[in-house]
């Protein structure tokens, strides 16, 4: 009887700890913004087009290579596979390794770049894979359309390091880029932040920290399919499982776990509370943020992460904008110019950033 009572008390304690401390109060439902410009959909007549079918084949092959590496506990093989995403592209920009306050990084410089205007770019890859090399298609495009010097940081990855190390590296790099350009210490006239997926998570976490610490804010932020909720409560995680060919191989097991188990998994893996705004920007204060553009596919698992973040930020009065495309793969912008939807997305990013540059 005593053993049974002790067991029941232990179960109740674990349940209470998960429900109140790890999961928190959850996410309030916010309506779509009343401003019609805050949410835009881009639909191509006739569907995604023939170029998309070739892209699907390419993505399936890539995810298979990454999955094989990870399943054999060979992270280096998975990381090497991921780093080939930008292989075969011809770049107008040049790439120069640098040290951003102790963080390995590279400058991405397009012809005619103004080195006193800068972009801090934070790559995606689930906090486990990815590097400045894997994302050169994106960083080079940022350099071309903005005329800025782009700093792509090589932050520490999990599982060798903790999520807090990823955050610390982004904060260090931000402090550094405020005072340093490709030629060393120099004036900063304009600053943007960009990030995709896990990098979008780190970027959105970063701008809240910048605001809370009274640092110079960026003029604008671009988040591509950002992960905003590491309690993993978004409905699209399950609803879009079968249509997200890039994330499904890595996240399908997670979607089958009960919320109680997911919370403990995140706590043990990330070493932070899932409901902490540091790791789940959606759950934090989203007021007084810089102008932010969020792009996401309506077919991907992180749709609700993006949509709920924008709705909540708009309700808090922040100038945040959502753009969606149907059918696209996760981070389709990296496949510019192979598919027209990637070209369209970059046209919108260009317009958004030019609007902030002249504001």
By the 8 A CB rule, do 322 and 310 touch?
Answer: yes
Please list the active-site residues.
197, 300, 330
- Whether residue 20 is contained in a domain is answered as no
pLDDT band per the 50, 70, 90 thresholds, residue 345? very high
Q: Is the pLDDT of residue 7 over 60?
A: no
- Whether residue 23 is contained in a domain is answered as no
pLDDT value, residue 272: 87
pLDDT value, residue 10: 58
Among candidates 66, 218, 208, 211, which has minimal Cα distance to 142?
Answer: 218
pLDDT band per the 50, 70, 90 thresholds, residue 16? low
Q: Is the pLDDT of residue 70 over 90?
A: no
Q: Is the pLDDT of residue 258 over 90?
A: no
- Whether residue 8 is contained in a domain is answered as no
- Domain of 125? 32-357
> For the domain that residue 41 is a member of, what is the CATH number?
3.40.50.1820
Mean pLDDT of 89-111: 96
- Whether residue 27 is contained in a domain is answered as no
pLDDT value, residue 130: 97
Pick 200 or 11 by higher pLDDT: 200
pLDDT value, residue 357: 67
- Whether residue 19 is contained in a domain is answered as no
d(CA 18, CA 5): 20
- Whether residue 4 is contained in a domain is answered as no
- Whether residue 25 is contained in a domain is answered as no
Pick 311 or 13 by higher pLDDT: 311
Count structural domains, the chain: 1
pLDDT value, residue 20: 64
Mean pLDDT of 42-70: 88
pLDDT value, residue 4: 62
Mean pLDDT of 68-87: 85
Among candidates 347, 334, 315, 342, which has minimal Cα distance to 28?
Answer: 315
pTM of the model: 0.94
pLDDT value, residue 113: 95
């Amino acid at each position: 009887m005593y053993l049974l009572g002790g067991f029941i008390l232990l179960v109740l304690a674990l349940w209470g700890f998960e429900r109140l401390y790890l999961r928190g109060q959850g996410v309030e439902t916010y309506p779509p913004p009343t401003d019609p410009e805050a949410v835009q959909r881009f639909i191509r007549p006739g569907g995604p087009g023939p170029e998309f079918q070739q892209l699907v084949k390419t993505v399936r092959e890539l995810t298979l290579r990454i999955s094989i590496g990870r399943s054999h506990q060979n992270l280096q093989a998975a990381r090497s596979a991921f780093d080939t995403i930008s292989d075969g592209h011809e770049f107008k920009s040049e790439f120069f390794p640098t040290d951003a306050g102790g963080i390995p990084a590279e400058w991405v410089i397009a012809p005619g770049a103004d080195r006193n205007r800068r972009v801090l770019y934070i790559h995606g890859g689930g906090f486990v894979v990815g590097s400045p090399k894997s994302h050169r298609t994106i960083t080079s495009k940022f350099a071309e359309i903005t005329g800025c010097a782009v700093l792509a940081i090589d932050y520490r990855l999990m599982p060798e390091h903790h999520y807090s190390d990823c955050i610390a590296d982004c904060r260090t790099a931000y402090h550094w880029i405020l005072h340093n350009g490709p030629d060393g210490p120099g004036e900063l006239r304009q600053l943007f932040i960009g990030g995709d997926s896990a990098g979008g998570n780190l970027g959105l976490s970063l701008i809240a920290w910048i605001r809370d610490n009274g640092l110079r804010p960026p003029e604008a932020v671009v988040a591509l399919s950002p992960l905003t909720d590491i309690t993993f409560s978004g409905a699209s995680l399950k609803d879009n499982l079968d249509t997200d060919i890039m994330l499904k191989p890595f996240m399908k097991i997670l979607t089958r776990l009960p919320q109680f188990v997911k919370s403990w998994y995140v706590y043990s893996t990330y070493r932070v509370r899932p409901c902490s705004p540091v790791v789940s920007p959606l759950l934090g204060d989203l007021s007084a943020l810089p102008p932010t553009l969020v792009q996401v596919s309506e077919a991907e698992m992180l749709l609700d992460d993006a949509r709920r973040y924008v709705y909540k930020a708009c309700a808090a009065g922040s100038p945040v904008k959502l753009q969606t495309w149907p059918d696209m793969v996760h981070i389709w912008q990296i496949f510019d110019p192979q598919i027209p939807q990637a070209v369209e997305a970059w046209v919108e990013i260009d317009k958004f950033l030019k609007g902030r540059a002249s504001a």
